[in-house]
Amino acid sequence: MKLLYCGDIMGKSGRDAVASHLPALRARLGLDFVVACGENAAHGFGITAAICEELFKLGVDVITLGNHAWDQREIIDYIKQQPKLLRPLNFPPGTPGQGSGLYVTEAGQKVFVAQVICRLFMEAADDPFRAVKSAIDTQSLPATVHAAILDIHGEATSEKAGLAYLADGRISMAVGSHAHIPTADARIMPGGTAFQTDAGMCGDFDSIIGMKKELAMHRFTNRVPGQRLEPATGEGTMCGVYVETNDATGLAVRIEPVRVGGILKQAVPG
């Protein structure tokens, strides 16, 4: 299978980048399944039902959230009836929505997707390691699913790597989100799981992690509260991770970074 994970979509610049590049990439690479982190899609804070529907029409199959999941309150009702929108697995019991799901491609292939939120330097959450193990115990490559994808939403690179190694050999790909900066460590781990610590963001990189740099700099250099942070509005780069799997095993045989548009050095799988 050919899989694409798109990093955190940051405001309108990020949405425009996805709109400009995803349909062409989906056709060019023959993508079977696309996951995107949408937790910053609504002006940098959360996501709305309308934006979700827009992303689905562009070719995103599943949207994940993160620590900004509930910034737009309307999404609480929407997520209850939209299985293609996932919040972290390890939110407390009773939280609306679901943290994982099983999906079927147009070709009839089954894909399992899960998201977990980390704890280091983040708000309190249930044990991510226990949550990931419980989730992947429900599926088996290639017996019950053709591919399995884990979005690891967190600050600490160490914790992301630990969760990826926990799942190594049992899922197709594990990709980090939240940091908004693409890491240079794309690789296939010993057990056959593709991993990149952070996919980066879909947004304007002439910024400070997607926010207007002058507003962020004011916060860094002054002790007086300033204007609320706002997403940068220049041309965005669509950052992501491309993975190919062995159809017989569901494990990865190739992983490549994706960077299209904007000011970053371009990287598109050949």
Query: All domains of the chain, ordered by start, with CATH?
Result: 2-260 (3.60.21.10)
Min mean pLDDT across 95-104, 213-222, 228-237, 248-257 is at 213-222
Name the phi and psi angles at 176, rounded to 5: -85, 150
Residues above pLDDT 90, as percent of the chain: 96
pLDDT for 223 equals: 77
- Helices in the chain by DSSP H: which ranges? 11-29, 49-58, 75-80, 128-136, 157-167, 213-221
The per-residue pLDDT of the chain, averaged, comes to 97
Neighbour-count burial of 124, counting CB atoms closer than 10 A to its CB (0-12 exposed, 13-18 middle, 19+ buried): exposed
Could you give the CA distance from residue 259 to residue 6 in angstroms, rounded to a whole number? 10
Q: Using one digit for the tens of pLDDT, what is the confidence trace for 22-62?
A: 999 999 999 999 999 999 999 999 999 999 999 999 999 99
pLDDT for 224 equals: 78
Q: Are 215 and 227 in contact (CB under 8 A)?
A: yes
Find the mean pLDDT for residues 104-122: 97
pLDDT for 35 equals: 98
Could you give the CA distance from residue 125 to residue 177 in angstroms, rounded to a whole number? 16
Q: Using one digit for the tens of pLDDT, what is the confidence trace for 189-240?
A: 999 999 999 999 999 999 999 999 999 999 899 877 778 899 999 999 999 9
Could you give the CA distance from residue 15 to residue 233 in angstroms, rounded to a whole number? 11
Q: Which residues pair with 151 in a beta bridge?
A: 115, 175
Largest CA distance in the chain: 59
Q: Which two tokens stand for residue 110?
A: 């089954």
Exposure string of 15-45, with b = 16+ CB inside 10 Å and e = fewer, is bbbbbebbeebbeebebbbbbbbbbbbbbbb
Q: Using one digit for the tens of pLDDT, what is the confidence trace for 141-165?
A: 999 999 999 999 999 999 999 999 9
Catalytically active residues are 68
> Is the pLDDT confidence value at 256 over 80?
yes
Name the phi and psi angles at 25, rounded to 5: -65, -40
